[in-house]
Amino acid sequence: MKFSKPGQILLATAVSAIVGLGLTSCGQSNTIDFLYVTANKNTTGQISVYWVDQESGAISQIPDSPYPSGGENPVAEVATPNGKNLFVVNRDDNTIVDFAIGTDAKLYPQKTCNTPGTEPVSIAVNTAGTQLYVVDTYAPAPSGQAAYSETNPGPGALVEFPLDSSSQQFSSCTPVANGSQSYWPLGNYPGGVAVAANDSYVYVVNTGSIVTTTTPPTAGVPVVAPTSGAGTISGFSIGSNGALTALSGSPFEAGTAPLGIAVDPTSRFLYATDAAQNQIIEYSIQNGGILVPLNPGTTATETFPVGITVDPRDLFVYVTNYTSGSISSYNINQGNGALSSNATPTLPTGPGSTCVTIEPALDRFVFTSNFLQNEVSSAELNTNTGSLTTDQNSPYPSAAQPTCVVAVPHGNHSQQTVTVIPTGNS
């Protein structure tokens, strides 16, 4: 899948800067989470930082925010499991910046690493906090050939960086080796990346088709061009030394234009959004990480689904719909992983909804970045039913073109967890 340059945030935020309202109820003493929002309107990217109020889910910007993203066009981000580091993907200069997270939510840049390919679009970290995975739109071209680009398209690349097991920061800017290469080849136009919670497998969607948006994307109506190939998912097993091995049967069929991807917390099921068909594609993760489509295996969304996440308690799935400007809610069948629409299935968020995240401290609030409206939406999650209710102060103004949003638990607030199955389904 290929995007016009302003429209590439759709791909990047599937996979992944607010002006606070100054709410007095959201002081640090009432904070359960920190919220980080990347924005790419300015030449130098920005990260705005917020406190999340434990009672209402209201957000307010901390002093000194926003912070520079350390590069141009930040499009994706991920926090480490220990909540002490934030990694930000800057697409236009091919950098990944590691920020230490202070106890007051402030960001402190630590190290910047370059990817071997170009135009990184998504990022994920394993549960142990020892490996960081980055997807490059274009892999390095073979020696003697022109570099891959929009005018000379080629395969993507999955890059794996080692992290220090104690600090969960970059231990080296040298990627894990794949023989003589510094990456694992992917299909054309790769998108989101997800690591199974048992740290046994990593998956990447390959869109395989061309998508453009209006330039600038003000209308909120992406245009899906005739496909140049069916979508797929590349799957890899993760060795004890971090080395990856392609799974049997990989790449797996994945609709027409898969964008976002998520694995449930028990490592039993995988879900991918198909932006061309307006659906979620559902899989069972079998022994060896092999993906087997569920029956019937798809669930309808609203128009142009992009981001997707599974709640930490493994009960619900949430999807952002870029064109519809909404978030869709689904219940997970605990036996077979099949999805069904929630009793209140859709909540308006604003045109251009991209990333979606659930605050991990209490699993009570959901946030989305709304690229076209320059806003961030906040909603309360009913932990019994999965239904969402809009925060009375939502949406919150943001800096122009927010691309992604990540929540990090604050202080001693524990994260909601489920038991992780050490191997795939039988």
Helix (H, G, I), strand (E, B) or coil at 423: coil
Per-residue model confidence as pLDDT tens digits over 259-292: 999 999 999 999 999 999 999 999 999 999 999 9
Q: CA neighbours within 13 Å on the CB side: how many for 373?
A: 22
> What's the pLDDT at 11?
56
Is 332 contained in some domain? Answer: no
* 3-class DSSP assignment, residue 237: strand
Q: For the CA atoms of 384, 385, 388, 391, what is the dihedral angle to 10 degrees?
A: -30
- Residue 211 falls inside a structural domain: yes
Residue 379 lies in a domain: yes
Residue 108 located in a structural domain: yes
Q: Is residue 334 part of a domain?
A: no
CA R_g for the chain? 19
For residue range 112-154, list pLDDT tens digits in order.
999 999 999 999 999 999 999 999 999 999 999 999 988 888 9
Does residue 47 form part of some domain?
A: yes
Residue ranges making up the domain that contains 119 = 5-263+350-409
DSSP letter, residue 398: B
The pTM (predicted TM-score) of the whole model is 0.90
- Please count the other Cβ atoms lying within 10 Å of the Cβ belonging to residue 399: 21
Q: How many domains does the chain have?
A: 1
Q: How many angstroms separate the Cα of 199 from the Cα of each of 271, 275, 285, 399, 409? A: 17, 27, 13, 35, 21
**309 belongs to a structural domain:** no
Q: What would the DSSP string read from start to end of 154-177?
A: -EEEEEEEEB-TTT-SBS-SSPPP
Average pLDDT for 315-332: 97
Whether 299 is covered by a domain: the verdict is no
Per the CB < 8 A criterion, the answer to whether 47 and 130 are in contact is: no
- Complete DSSP assignment for 314-368: SSEEEEEETTTTEEEEEEEPTTT--EEEEEEEEEE--SSEEEEEE-TTTS-EEEE
β-pair partners for 398: 18
CATH of the domain at 127: 2.120.10
